[in-house]
Structure 1
């Protein structure tokens, strides 16, 4: 983690070009239901997970085989007091190569421990980036959320909390 955001890093034996292509395909490692283009500067896409989380993201920077950056334009969490915690934050994938190995460094700038979503979000990024994206690059198969159902314990907890809140308001 950096002083102003969450960071996770991994190294694979594949090339920077292979890592870059995988980063540009979040449907292959984050969520199959992502809607919109993710492979050109200025493009916008949306991510939604049940009623728990939805976000609209703009691709702000692409440097082939080196870097991809996103800006969160809108965000909604239903499990935090401030449901817009991600709004205005950035996500950057830096890709470097040395000694025949490629390192991908993901930073969600603005995702800080003071955020109510920090535990759930950092756990999610650790899985979807450091495990699923890594596997997509290394083996050709990621573990994206494919059915819109919770995959991680933190996702299950957020869905259950949503159900409890809905029951309390009924």
Structure 2
């Protein structure tokens, strides 16, 4: 069994502080592809937000689990209903995180979906969607 979690990294010239301010609010980056609706908050530990996309095909609730100012953000998926899967709650219990670090004159951003592994039914489709969201974020951070 592989335990390879999905991970994606890129860099920007923005400061860790600027990057953190953008990432802490999912409405700044988890949008723009599949008619997403995000409600709730993500400012303090234990805040929760819900994410819906694909006209209800994907519904999940994330709880802000850990935050280290300008360095790390971790959400735990506490509920998921991915109607296009046999196991609709496949994401429940997984963690979505961003690591932020300084590398020379750049800020490195590492996204990880801990628990999204190749054995998951949605691995190919979900990693493809994550890659699109993160490519959009990369472009946004490097064009402003």
Q: Is 1:125 equivalent to 2:99 in the alignment? A: no
- For 2:18, the equivalent position in structure 1 comes to 18
Deviation (angstroms), 1:18: 1.1
Deviation (angstroms), 1:136: 3.0
CA–CA distance in structure 2, aligned partners of residues 118 and 39 of structure 1: 28
Larger CA Rg, structure 1 vs 2:
1
Secondary structure in 2 matching 1:133: helix
Deviation (angstroms), 1:137: 2.4
Structure 2: which 5+ residue stretches go unaligned? Answer: none
Q: Determine if contact 2:101/2:109 at 8 Å carries over to the other structure.
A: yes
Q: Is 1:71 equivalent to 2:76 in the alignment? A: yes
Hey, which of these two has a bigger chunk of strand by percent?
A: 2
CA–CA distance in structure 2, aligned partners of residues 62 and 136 of structure 1: 23
Cα offsets for 1:32-67 (capped at 9, x unmatched): 621011121110000001121000010011111000
Name segments (4+ residues, structure 1) moved above 6 Å.
none
Q: 1:136 to 1:25 in 2, by over 3 A?
A: farther
Q: Determine if contact 1:23/1:133 at 8 Å carries over to the other structure.
A: no
- Two-structure CA RMSD over aligned residues (Å): 1.4
- Name the count of aligned residue pairs: 138
CA–CA distance in structure 2, aligned partners of residues 104 and 52 of structure 1: 28
CA–CA distance in structure 2, aligned partners of residues 139 and 59 of structure 1: 28
TM-score normalized with structure 2 length: 0.90
Q: Determine if contact 1:22/1:133 at 8 Å carries over to the other structure.
A: no
Secondary structure in 2 matching 1:27: helix
CA–CA distance in structure 1, aligned partners of residues 25 and 98 of structure 2: 12
CA–CA distance in structure 2, aligned partners of residues 83 and 63 of structure 1: 31
TM-score normalized with structure 1 length: 0.77
